[in-house]
Amino acid sequence: MTQSCKLSSSSPSAQLHTQLLSLQLDCEAASNRRLRDARWSKQVTVVTTLFSVGAALASLPMISWQYRKLDRVWRLRHPIRARNYAWAAGVLCCSAVLVQVFQSSPIGHIAAYFKCFDDSAALDDVGMELRLLQVQLERPLGDQQQSMALLEDQCGQLQKRFYQLERIRLA
């Protein structure tokens, strides 16, 4: 996968064409992985949102029951149980708020969802540029050696961009 774009054989055009095709397929696979990660982030966001809404809804009856004046006698007779209900309602409310704050933070699932789409779009751009290089390789213009050197340079730059997007460090 870490092939160089420098060619040294009898048919450099065929090798470059093969390499461009494999790099294009790698870009497509990486883009599909990013889209799959985006779908996963969306599903996690939906599940955690349902959890926080459920926690908030579960805390509402506890809070209203705690502060109703009809049950004041019961609260005076059972102070420990009343305190435990108040504590449970507070924990449920806090967890609902904290889950929503985390989701909308820069490290949350919503940010990861949009970052996956941005990465996928960048990988698709690299794939399209690789496709344009393949078209240029099939129809060379002018001097064959000069156009091959230019295509090798462009292929190397696109390969570096792809590996930077894939977070692979080049040696």
DSSP assignment of 51-84: HHHHHHHHHHHHHHHHT-STTHHHHHH-HHHHHH
Q: Domain of residue 123: give its range.
A: 15-165
Distance CA(130)–CA(21), nearest Å, equals 8
Q: Would you say residue 9 lies in a domain?
A: no
Give tens-digit pLDDT for 91-114.
999 999 999 898 888 888 888 888
The answer to whether residues 99 and 110 touch, using CB atoms and an 8 Å cutoff, is no
Burial class of residue 1, CB neighbours in 10 A (0-12, 13-18, 19+): exposed
Q: Would you say residue 171 lies in a domain?
A: no
Which pLDDT does position 73 carry in this prediction?
Answer: 78
Distance CA(18)–CA(13), nearest Å, equals 9
Between 167 and 125, the higher pLDDT residue: 125
Angle formed by the axes of helices 144-165 and 12-66, nearest 10°: 20
Q: Would you say residue 122 lies in a domain?
A: yes
Residue with tokens 């908030």: 56
Q: Would you say residue 7 lies in a domain?
A: no
State how many domains the chain has.
1
Q: Would you say residue 21 lies in a domain?
A: yes
Which pLDDT does position 59 carry in this prediction?
Answer: 87
| pTM metric for this prediction | 0.65
The answer to whether residues 20 and 134 touch, using CB atoms and an 8 Å cutoff, is yes
Q: Would you say residue 79 lies in a domain?
A: yes
Per-residue pLDDT band at 58 (split at 50, 70, 90): confident
State the average pLDDT over residues 23-43. Answer: 87
Give tens-digit pLDDT for 142-171.
666 667 777 788 888 888 888 777 774 333
Q: Would you say residue 170 lies in a domain?
A: no
Q: Would you say residue 8 lies in a domain?
A: no
- Rounded to 5°, angle at Cα 142 from 130 and 126: 10
The answer to whether residues 48 and 97 touch, using CB atoms and an 8 Å cutoff, is no
Per-residue pLDDT band at 47 (split at 50, 70, 90): very high
